[in-house]
Amino acid sequence: MHLLNGALSPECVALTWAGAATGVTLAVRHIHRSEVDRSQLIQAVQLTGVVFAAQMINIPLLPHASTHLVGGALLAWRLGPCLAAVCMTSVLIVQAALLGDGGFAAFGANVINMALIPAMVVAQLQRIQQTAWTPFLSGWLAVILAALALPLQIADGNTALPVVPFGMEMLSSYAVLGLFEGFVTAVALAVLSSVYFSQSRPRTIGLSMSVAVALLVVLPFSSSIPDGYEAAAEVSGLSHLLTTSSEEITSAGDINVWLHGIQVQVSGIISKLSGTSSALPLISFLACSVLTAFVLSILTRRPPDLARRLHHSGYAH
């Protein structure tokens, strides 16, 4: 579901950036007013890293389309909608800057689709009587709403594109692919509740690191089948949305050119520093964990002393 540079019109780029900034700002204000203790910070860093790693693994569920865990609903249930929105934004920042997964120009839309929409879905479901199916419903519904929002974002300022067939293809694909999101969300919440509530302290950072490393190990086995968004774009004749050619970027407007140029420079620097492409996923995972810890430390007015925090979490034992 990661939109690339050139997929959106300049008007939509500005609009989605403004919407994302507003949503994240409201989330940050809520975090400032909330009491977030050390155990919550540790859990947030752990889960954000696991979600980041899980997004790298594509699972083939349809003959023409694969999917991967988005994780927005999972984070929202465990951390709270506002904290989850900020954590998912950190994931999207690292993905765009280090992996080129999602464009800087489309960053606002990606935040709305994968960070804010899941957080809002969970926030609304938390207000009603919850059942055993509620976590599953939240994951499925978050993916469906994102699949509906994405064609509308592409259509804004691009009325000549065949958006209706694309939107129908997105909806039909993610009605099925979203079942995976709902299932993983429900199962992961059950497992996490058992792990965390069975201990007096959240001493599970070793387990989280093991899960993340295991996911990175199986990365070479990730499906090469296009994900639901990519498959829908190809079937609908919108395959140009999946490229970042200079022609597409230029035709999308100056703001896309400027943001794409920044992203190319950042990616070039990261590639030189990483040395090999095989090391980049692990570097990105570590960068995501560090960025999340740093951002949350600032937001909760705590010093970003990772070594002390990891030591007290039990990882050093």
- Each domain of the chain, given as residue ranges in start order, spans 10-309
| Of the ranges 167-181, 184-198, 213-227, the best mean pLDDT one | 167-181
Rounded distance, CA 5 to CA 48, Å?
25
Instruction: State whether residue 59 is helix, strand or coil.
Output: strand
**Closest among 105, 108, 120, 100 to 280, alpha carbons compared:** 100
pLDDT for residue 309: 52
Q: Whole-prediction pTM value? A: 0.84
At 317, the pLDDT band (50, 70, 90 cuts) reads very low
For residue 63, give the 3-state DSSP assignment: coil
* pLDDT above 90 (res 76): yes
Pick the CATH number of 10-309 from 3.50.30.10, 3.40.50.2000, 1.10.1760.20, 1.25.40.10: 1.10.1760.20
**In the numeric block, which tokens belong to residue 51?**
């979600």
First to last CA, the chain: 40
Report how far residue 170's alpha carbon sits from residue 168's, in angstroms, rounded to the nearest whole number.
Answer: 5
d(C-alpha 241, C-alpha 150), whole Å: 12
CA distance 11 to 3: 15
